[in-house]
Amino acid sequence: MAQEDLFTFNPFKPQESHKMKLIREEIETVEFLVESKNGKKSMYIEGVFLQGNIKNRNGRMYPMETLRKEVGRYNENHVQAGRALGELGHPDGPTVNLDRVSHKIVSLRESGSNFVGKAKILNTPMGKIASSLIEEGVKLGVSSRGIGSLKMTREGVNIVGDDFMLATAADIVADPSAPDAFVEGIMEGKDWVWDGGILRERYAEKTYKQINTLVDQSALEEKKLSLFNDFLNNL
C-alpha cells in the first residue's frame, strides 16, 4: 500500500481533489553574468526560464494562457515580495528548502512565447557552490519546478493543465543522465493530490523495492532504464 505524507502548500486551494504531478523542465541555454554596483560584484543567471505553446523534449506543452496566469501570480506573490527563491540541484518536492537556496529570482517577464528570467546568486552555502562551479566553467542550466495535472492528446503530447502552480521558476541544475536522475530523483513518480487545501504526497514504493532487490550491476542498469521508460510513459 502506498505511503502518504501530508504537508501544506499555499498558492491555491482548488475546489476539488485531483491528482497532479511534480513537473520539471530543464533549459540549458542560460547566461551567467557578473554585475558591479557600488564596487560590489554580484553574479546573475539570465535567460529563458519557461516556454509556452511548444512541445518540449519531455513531450509536454504549456499553453501560454496557463503560464501567463501562473507567472502573474508568481511575480506578485514571490518576485515582487523578494521571496522567489530557487535551489541548487533537484529537490524532492514542490516546496523550497531554505537550507538549499542558492539564488533569488529578481525578474520574470513575457517575451514572445517564452518567459525570460533573471536570478541573483546569493551568498549562501549553496550559492557559493554554484558560484564556484560557474567560475570553473562547469556547464549549468535551470529547471522550472511546479505541480499540475497532465492530459494526453491524440498526438501524444501531454498538455499541462490550468491548475499548474510554480514552486520556483528556476532551480540551478547540471545536465543529468536521464535514467540515473530518475532513480535518484524518484520524486517525479509521486502523485500529488489536493484534498481540503492539503497536498498529499504518494511515494512510488514499488519502484524503490524493485531497484533495491537488484544486486547484479548489469541487471540494475537495465532495470533503471526500464523503470525510467515506464515512468515516462505514465506521465
Active site residues: 90, 143
Alpha carbon distance 11, 148 (integer Å): 12
Name which of 66, 160, 72 is nearest 108 in CA terms. Answer: 72
End-to-end CA distance of the chain: give it in Å, rounded.
21
Cβ 148 vs Cβ 163: under 8 Å: yes
Per DSSP, the chain holds a count of helices (H) and strands (E) of: 5, 14
CA angle in degrees (0–180, nearest 5) for 106-111-117? 20
Ramachandran sector of residue 91 (left: φ over 0; alpha: ψ -120 to 50; beta: rest) = beta
DSSP 75-113: IIIIITTT--EEEBS--SSSS--GGGEEEEEEEEEEETT
- How many residues comprise the chain? 235
Fill in the amino acid letter for 211: I
Q: Is 212 exposed, middle or buried (0-12, 13-18, 19+ CB in 10 A)?
A: exposed
